[in-house]
C-alpha cells in the first residue's frame, strides 16, 4: 500500500494545517500574511514553469494553500481594520484584491487554462476573486444589514460539515441497493440543477436531524 492521492478531504486538511501553522506564527498581521500568500501563488506558478531550477511542494499543490491563505488574508485585513478604526476602507481594499486576482488569473489563463483538476494558477486566482465577491456580499448582508435568519436553513452544513460531506455516501448505496434511478430529464439541464439544489437541501436537513439526535462526526 502507498499514498497515491489524499482525496478532497485530505487536500482540505493539509491546506488548513499548513495555514494554521502559518497563522500561529504570524497572527493578525495582514502584511506578512499577504507575503506568504504571494509565495504560495509563486509556488503554484512554479509547478507549471520553472521560476526556480527545482520544484518545491507542500503536499500535492500550492494551489490548495494559496486558496486557504487568501481567505485568511481577507479575514486578517478585516480584523486589522476594525482594530485600527478604519473598517470603512475594507470594501476598497477587497475590491482592489478582486481586480488584482482577476487580472492575474486571466493573464495566466492562455498559458495553463482554468482547471481545478490541474490546480492551475488561473483557477486558483479567479476562484479567489469570486470568493472575495461573496465575502463582501455576506459582509453587507450579515454585518451591515443584520439579515441572518436565512442561514438557519443551511446552518447544519456549517455546524457539522464533515457529517454533511459524508451523508451522500450513505444515501447513494441505499439508492443503488433498492435500484432507484432518476429519469434522464431530472438529471440534465436546468431541471438537473434544480434537482441538485433540492438534493443538497435534503442532505443538509438529514445532517441537521442527525445533529439533533447527537449523531455527528468529530476529528
Q: For 86-97, give the secondary structure using H, E and C.
A: CHHHHHHHHHHH
| Parent domain of 160 | 152-212
- For every residue of 163-192, DSSP letters joined together read HHHHTHHHHHHHHHHTT----GGGSSHHHH
**Grid coordinates given for 164:** 454533511
Span 37-85, pLDDT tens digits = 999 999 999 989 877 776 677 777 899 999 999 999 999 999 999 999 9
Is 218 a residue whose pLDDT tops 90?
no
The pTM assigned to this predicted structure is 0.83
Residues 163 and 203 in one domain: yes
Domains in the chain, number = 2
Residues 161 and 135 in one domain: no
User: In this structure, is residue 170 part of a structural domain?
Assistant: yes
Amino acid at each position: 500500500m502507498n499514498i497515491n492521492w489524499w482525496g478532497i478531504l485530505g487536500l482540505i486538511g493539509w491546506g488548513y494545517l499548513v495555514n494554521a501553522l502559518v497563522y500561529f506564527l504570524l497572527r493578525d498581521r495582514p502584511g506578512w500574511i499577504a507575503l506568504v500568500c504571494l509565495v504560495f501563488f509563486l509556488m503554484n506558478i512554479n509547478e507549471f514553469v520553472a521560476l526556480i531550477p527545482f520544484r518545491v511542494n507542500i503536499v500535492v499543490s500550492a494551489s490548495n494553500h494559496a486558496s486557504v491563505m487568501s481567505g485568511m488574508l481577507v479575514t486578517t485585513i478585516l480584523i486589522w481594520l476594525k482594530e485600527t478604526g478604519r473598517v470603512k476602507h475594507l470594501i476598497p481594499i477587497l475590491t482592489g484584491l478582486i481586480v488584482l486576482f482577476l487580472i492575474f488569473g486571466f493573464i495566466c489563463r492562455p498559458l495553463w487554462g482554468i482547471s481545478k483538476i490541474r490546480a492551475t494558477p488561473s483557477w486558483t486566482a479567479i476562484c479567489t476573486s469570486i470568493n472575495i465577491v461573496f465575502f463582501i456580499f455576506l459582509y453587507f448582508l450579515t454585518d451591515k444589514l443584520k439579515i441572518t435568519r436565512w442561514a438557519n436553513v443551511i446552518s447544519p452544513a456549517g455546524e457539522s460539515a464533515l457529517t454533511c460531506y459524508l451523508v451522500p455516501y450513505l444515501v447513494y448505496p441505499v439508492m443503488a441497493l433498492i435500484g432507484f434511478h432518476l429519469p434522464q430529464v431530472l438529471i440534465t439541464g436546468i431541471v438537473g440543477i434544480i434537482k441538485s439544489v433540492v438534493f443538497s437541501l435534503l442532505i443538509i436537513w438529514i445532517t441537521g436531524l442527525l445533529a439533533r439526535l447527537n449523531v455527528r462526526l468529530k476529528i
